[in-house]
Amino acid sequence: MNKVNTKTLKGFKELLPAEQMAFNKMLETIRKTYELYGFIPLDTPVLERAEALLAKAGGETEQQIYQFTKGKTDYAMRFDLTVPLARFVAEHERELTFPFRRYAIGKVYRGERPQAGRLREFHQCDIDIIGKGDLALSADAELPNIISSIFTKILPNNTKFTIRINNRKILNGLFEWLNIDGVAAMRILDKLDKIGIDGISKELSEIGVEQNKIDSIISFSEITGTNEEILGQLKAMTIDNKAFQDGVTELQQVSSSMTQIDLSIARGLAYYTGTVYETTLDQYPQVGSICSGGRYEDLAGTYTNSLLPGVGISIGLSRLFDQLKTLELLELGASTPTKVLILSIDEDVKAKLASELRDNGIPTETQALNKLDKQLKYANKLGIPKVIIIGNDEVAKKQYSLKDMVTGEQQTLTKVDILSNLLL
């Protein structure tokens, strides 16, 4: 009989046990850290009214959305966690307390052409702080602490990362002061790495920017150094523009020892309006940003008349996990949560011990004691670290054998000693 194809579709991944355990551990660390900083969990439907999701999409994103009609309803699958947040806050505005600190961890869907590093289903882990009417800049200053706390915990040892920040007002202000089209100029500046300063000068000149203004942009783009040095050079530019000055002041207040100011990051022209964040791996720049975000003036203008400014970041965990795997940086452990396998000839002794171990938070499996070799092989393959063996002798003496599957060492211990050994 012909069997049905069991491979997942392109762009859709599933993990084997040891990988899934490692992935879940990272996800759980992110979740716990978000909660340690007082973010409230939120879960919105994966399927929404197409009209509601598309209201905030556009261009490339809109083409990627999975959309379909069933009955009389036009459905779309969520492509990020920000649009559903906007809709949720607009819908439940009166039931929420502001500033609303929410986290959302879930899968999102983008039907892009699959290519290296691009997934069609992936986990995002987002936090946002939403104000009503206004939102203090201290919210922007708080986020790098959270990013730092998470990546210190989830990245493999010695994987250094840098949290880069910038403020969109600075560049906006500069363009305003120079009286040139920001969108066009920005598109050219984004090519710095590719075409160099000469190439940029040439292209700016081609769209009619005067030479003295090109010089200002070039000298701006050459600003580097420590946070203090960069802030010093920005102030030294003495640019008489409010947005520029506000941007510098905000950047000064948000920057800290945890962040590196990087005037070259911009993160999406339309959406972000103030602070922007990117996070990169020092030794692996090719991975790109593993955690990005920024400040926006108004979350939900499409859905409500209330002004809802916010600031947020997103970790694309599926992509990060994939990249760490490719770089061979993933440290895989066991293929099961089980810490002890009890093999016993006595059903009651087994059940009682298993129950005590589980009450103490120790994941435990049990089996009748037979085919010992097969059982030990099972434990070994899964990476179960300890096996307790309870045979006739052990039941009579009320002592149990504890076998360490790593060293192979076997000890005969009382129940109390077994418990303290396992609780170590």
| Sign of the four-CA dihedral 155, 151, 323, 194 | negative
Closest among 159, 151, 158 to 26, alpha carbons compared: 151
Residue 153 near residue 229 (C-beta atoms within 8 A): no
If the CB atoms of residues 39 and 272 are measured against its own copies, the closer one turns out to be 39
**Least Å from the CB of residue 49 to its own copies:** 6
**Residues 378 to 407 in contact with its own copies, rule: CB under 8 A:** 378, 381-382
Q: Which stretch binds its own copies (CB under 8 A): 44-52, 175-183, 185-193, 238-246?
A: 44-52
Residue 102 near residue 40 (C-beta atoms within 8 A): yes
If the CB atoms of residues 232 and 363 are measured against its own copies, the closer one turns out to be 363
**Residues 323 to 382 in contact with its own copies, rule: CB under 8 A:** 335-338, 341, 358, 361-368, 378, 381-382
Task: Determine if 79 is a binding residue for its own copies (CB under 8 A).
Answer: no
Q: Which stretch binds its own copies (CB under 8 A): 38-46, 157-165, 269-277, 403-411?
A: 38-46
Q: Which stretch binds its own copies (CB under 8 A): 91-99, 158-166, 197-205, 225-233?
A: 91-99
- The separation between CA 184 and the C-alpha centre of its own chain, rounded to angstroms, equals 31
**Least Å from the CB of residue 289 to its own copies:** 24
What's the N-to-C CA distance of the chain in angstroms? Answer: 53
**Least Å from the CB of residue 316 to its own copies:** 16
CA distance 147 to 315: 9
Q: Mask: binding to its own copies, 147-166, rule CB under 8 A, as x and -?
A: --x-----------------
In degrees rounded to 5, what are phi and psi of residue 268?
70, 115
**Least Å from the CB of residue 273 to its own copies:** 20
If the CB atoms of residues 253 and 401 are measured against its own copies, the closer one turns out to be 253
Size of the site for its own copies (CB under 8 A): 82
**Least Å from the CB of residue 144 to its own copies:** 12
If the CB atoms of residues 38 and 117 are measured against its own copies, the closer one turns out to be 38
**Least Å from the CB of residue 363 to its own copies:** 5
**Least Å from the CB of residue 265 to its own copies:** 25
**Residues 185 to 224 in contact with its own copies, rule: CB under 8 A:** none
User: Judged by CB under 8 A, which of 30, 80, 82, 87 binds its own copies?
Assistant: 87
**Residues 280 to 309 in contact with its own copies, rule: CB under 8 A:** 302-305
Task: Determine if 75 is a binding residue for its own copies (CB under 8 A).
Answer: yes
| Sign of the four-CA dihedral 70, 71, 74, 78 | negative
**Least Å from the CB of residue 179 to its own copies:** 30
In degrees rounded to 5, what are phi and psi of residue 407?
-85, -20
**Residues 260 to 279 in contact with its own copies, rule: CB under 8 A:** none
CA distance 319 to 301: 30
Strand 121-130 and strand 100-109: the pairing is: antiparallel
Task: Determine if 38 is a binding residue for its own copies (CB under 8 A).
Answer: yes
Q: Which stretch binds its own copies (CB under 8 A): 13-21, 154-162, 227-235, 282-290?
A: 13-21
- Torsion angle (degrees, nearest 10) of CA 146, 144, 250, 126: -60
Task: Determine if 114 is a binding residue for its own copies (CB under 8 A).
Answer: no
If the CB atoms of residues 50 and 263 are measured against its own copies, the closer one turns out to be 50
Q: Which stretch binds its own copies (CB under 8 A): 19-27, 150-158, 205-213, 274-282?
A: 19-27
**Least Å from the CB of residue 352 to its own copies:** 12
